[in-house]
Structure 1
């Protein structure tokens, strides 16, 4: 109107505004980018910055900014694999291979052919009547409530398409976990959400009814998690809508705090017996527990309780202190808990030393995102792995770090329906499937290059670490590993004190 009535120069801003309006409408209607659906037009600034990021990184690398070169951007790698695009890079590595702490895998002079199908791990000990075939990489515990409905549905649909497992997290078993038929690991935390009595205890009847569902393939008891060992989870009241309150069995609109400890056991023996009861209530399905390792002495006490009662879990998931996708107090995230490498090697070696390893499968979780990560953890004692952070990237997370505010800009960690609708389930579930498939394929290719086709043939000496400028040690040399049954026959000096002090009827400090 101004152009027609005043001056033709007004056609220039009119054209710009018209183009932006068309772009904004396209952003709202497209389904590939959640940021653009929630922030039309403005969201393109993010992609502009992403486009110049490699050049900025190279600028700082050449100037040795901060005294060290940049690592490869793992998030970009996950995005590439989830989109099905090429994840290769030219000109070798940017890592300083002579830096202290650099780790590398040992290739073979006689590599093996890459298997057509990736290996699976049978989970189920002697007391399990319904074992489960676990993939090498799975979706770990992320609760409905912490994540949006669309995020949960996308993860589950991706797991169903790819044939891997999806852990529910401690937030209960919702219809969104069950909608697409993905294999579920139903996790029970200290709040017993989904099988909770009115006073906050464990309800056996509710648990048995829900564990009987055909999509529930395993059940797990959460003792602690890597991001905040020693304290329970927190779900802000702003996220506790009526639906989430119904799933968890708590009042709507009120902040939900999980206790730091369980009410169903006080001693290692009681823990082991409760796991046996869970398996019985679940109809013989694989039953295990998750923990961020505490003291070696306390875990050895659990091993003694297993031996005394002749009862073992079917699996143990070791969560590293460096992991965790939810919000946590900085002091806990930075200073409490055992890192995954030490926790994993300790749990594996303790089970070997007590002669229990063949009955129990070990999962590993903590900043696992690549095929290399999987192979390293298999070498250190895991049978399979879980990836929370990487799965969130695959489903669209951009690490805005607003998970606890209910204002996630891409609809992943929010209960705001308007924000959550930006996450397109069909697109993101396929990205989850593609990421898992590509990452496991990478792990299998790496193992083949090392002369191995079965993960059981991986050995500690195949992983090396530079400990100083002139010294490289293998995993067999760095860690105090035990021989089968060694703790029962003749405990070595480095384990003897903890083994003697471990009490199956008391969690000694």
Structure 2
């Protein structure tokens, strides 16, 4: 009837269809939202749900912490900073001040004045010929292959603009890492990608060819990572593209294996000798290692090997068991590896006790997103912090949890050309740089409020924690701290050192005699 009579009712569906079509075209042409480019029109359903922010925020305050992930709040903070949105929170704090675990910084009645928030730390001990001045906030290890080419391009360009470093992850240096020229820390894992021979063994000449590149500022040996410590990895053959094969030095179309342990060295002494070899072959650049703390006596064995050999790493990055990945078993994500703070304090205390702390820098990684997160790890002994998740949020990650499927809706963790093409590199690189700058500004504001002028003035006495409804303690009082040289004059009162330090040996990774005896007695 409407068709014959040309009634006005016919124009309504045509108008709606036309509006949707126009909206879809606009979504495809704009560059600020990857989600809208990959899902024109349909993405507005998500935006509509997210518009109910007051209700979500109230649920975060009143609901069970286990029901709603805190990462939703973290992601919101990163988005605001990356987009340059005014950071405000109406009606004051939404933290549970009287809940055990709540932390804060005390302020000074004489706040300091800080003119520059470009806080930096010099990395490179007495055995290093090319020290590096690093930002106190950098991009943690994420490999090309795990991330798309466009994600790597945006991260590296953001690092170049902001003057901070970009860790390659163990997938080695790809053409996308090199294109924009941002500072790189080359991570070398047990697969020796980028410096291996046809059998997967370490190749010194191939290492040297990459390491002398001026863009590579430091070399990091990965012993273990927080997301899956003690486990290797595999990139299935269908995912080994020509570009990934080129970067890693592996055959295209074959499974790419990363063993659980290194083959280029054995034991603590072997690790340090390998480290010295890399330092010399790189022309004297800072070389260190990354690890998630596991058995404390194995870390003690490495520390004793430093004293025995005189070979010192320029830096140690402590990764936390709370680290994330798209490729780890559930049990490893939830129940393997020491949390970052405990691992950081153990490493810091050990180096202090050996009088080596002033010669070795410490980095920390594990859910560092805000200026306060960064302040906490610096107060506990780190010289700088690394973040992976925070910078992924800056790229636009919505935590769709599709990382392992190749169907990431924001083009970040996929090798699908169509999906990653929607990630606009110029826009996202600006967001990465902006997030870094805003986070350091927030750190500077915290320092100034506390009467400090640089992060190296932070100590555990500056961070307070509510232990119970009626008890508050500083981190200085809550944890045990070694005095300089304390391990050189005997076994300290710290419980972990009392139990494992004396029996640790520098020449091999071994189970302490006390534990072996206990096992034998149980067997009897």
TM-score scaled by length of structure 2: 0.94
**Corresponding residue for residue 53 of structure 1:** 53
Matched, 1:402 2:418: no
* Distance in 2 between residues matched to 1:476 and 1:67, nearest whole Å: 29
Matched, 1:503 2:479: no
Distance 1:488 1:4, change over 3 A: farther
Q: What is the Cα deviation at residue 10 of structure 1?
A: 2.0
* Distance in 1 between residues matched to 2:57 and 2:384, nearest whole Å: 34
**Corresponding residue for residue 14 of structure 1:** 14
Higher mean C-alpha displacement, 33-42 vs 48-57 = 48-57
Q: How does 1:84-99 map to 2 (within 5 A)?
A: 84-99=84-99
**Corresponding residue for residue 281 of structure 2:** 281
**Corresponding residue for residue 111 of structure 1:** 111
Number of aligned positions between the proteins: 507
Q: How does 1:342-381 map to 2 (within 5 A)?
A: 342-381=342-381
Higher mean C-alpha displacement, 47-56 vs 234-243 = 234-243
* Distance in 2 between residues matched to 1:279 and 1:367, nearest whole Å: 30
8 Å contact kept, 1:141–1:187 = yes
Matched, 1:476 2:479: no
* Distance in 2 between residues matched to 1:101 and 1:295, nearest whole Å: 26
8 Å contact kept, 2:321–2:339 = yes
Higher mean C-alpha displacement, 472-481 vs 327-336 = 472-481
Distance 1:322 1:59, change over 3 A: closer
SS in 2 for 1:362: strand
Distance 1:323 1:67, change over 3 A: closer
1:18-60 Cα deviation digits (max 9, x unpaired): 1111110110010000011011110111111111133233257
* Distance in 2 between residues matched to 1:484 and 1:394, nearest whole Å: 40
* Distance in 2 between residues matched to 1:404 and 1:69, nearest whole Å: 23
* Distance in 1 between residues matched to 2:508 and 2:109, nearest whole Å: 51
8 Å contact kept, 2:381–2:459 = no
**Corresponding residue for residue 517 of structure 2:** none
SS in 1 for 2:52: helix
Q: What is the Cα deviation at residue 296 of structure 1?
A: 1.9
Distance 1:469 1:68, change over 3 A: farther
* Distance in 2 between residues matched to 1:334 and 1:30, nearest whole Å: 39
Higher mean C-alpha displacement, 343-352 vs 115-124 = 115-124
Distance 1:18 1:175, change over 3 A: same
**Corresponding residue for residue 317 of structure 2:** 317
RMSD: 1.7
Matched, 1:167 2:167: yes
Q: What is the Cα deviation at residue 119 of structure 1?
A: 2.1
Distance 1:502 1:19, change over 3 A: same
**Corresponding residue for residue 332 of structure 1:** 332
SS in 2 for 1:364: strand
SS in 1 for 2:491: coil
* Distance in 2 between residues matched to 1:59 and 1:498, nearest whole Å: 45
Distance 1:127 1:228, change over 3 A: same
Q: How does 1:42-191 map to 2 (within 5 A)?
A: 42-58=42-58, 61=61, 64=63, 73-191=73-191
Higher mean C-alpha displacement, 473-482 vs 22-31 = 473-482
SS in 1 for 2:502: helix
1:269-294 Cα deviation digits (max 9, x unpaired): 00011111111111101101101111
* Distance in 2 between residues matched to 1:27 and 1:312, nearest whole Å: 54
**Corresponding residue for residue 234 of structure 2:** 234
Task: Give the unaligned 5+ runs of structure 2.
Answer: 512-524
Q: What is the Cα deviation at residue 69 of structure 1?
A: 9.1
* Distance in 1 between residues matched to 2:421 and 2:276, nearest whole Å: 41
Q: What is the Cα deviation at residue 172 of structure 1?
A: 1.3
1:79-101 Cα deviation digits (max 9, x unpaired): 00000111221222222111111
Q: How does 1:244-255 map to 2 (within 5 A)?
A: 244-255=244-255
**Corresponding residue for residue 207 of structure 2:** 207
* Distance in 2 between residues matched to 1:76 and 1:228, nearest whole Å: 27
Distance 1:500 1:4, change over 3 A: farther
* Distance in 1 between residues matched to 2:448 and 2:67, nearest whole Å: 32
8 Å contact kept, 2:190–2:260 = yes
Q: What is the Cα deviation at residue 5 of structure 1?
A: 7.8
Q: How does 1:300-315 map to 2 (within 5 A)?
A: 300-315=300-315
Distance 1:160 1:70, change over 3 A: closer
Higher mean C-alpha displacement, 458-467 vs 110-119 = 110-119
**Corresponding residue for residue 454 of structure 1:** 454
8 Å contact kept, 1:57–1:70 = no
Task: Give the unaligned 5+ runs of structure 1.
Answer: none
Q: What is the Cα deviation at residue 458 of structure 1?
A: 1.5
Q: What is the Cα deviation at residue 324 of structure 1?
A: 2.0
Q: What is the Cα deviation at residue 222 of structure 1?
A: 0.4
Distance 1:3 1:153, change over 3 A: farther
**Corresponding residue for residue 423 of structure 2:** 423
**Corresponding residue for residue 196 of structure 2:** 196
SS in 2 for 1:77: helix
Q: What is the Cα deviation at residue 349 of structure 1?
A: 0.5
Distance 1:309 1:425, change over 3 A: same
**Corresponding residue for residue 522 of structure 2:** none
* Distance in 1 between residues matched to 2:504 and 2:65, nearest whole Å: 45
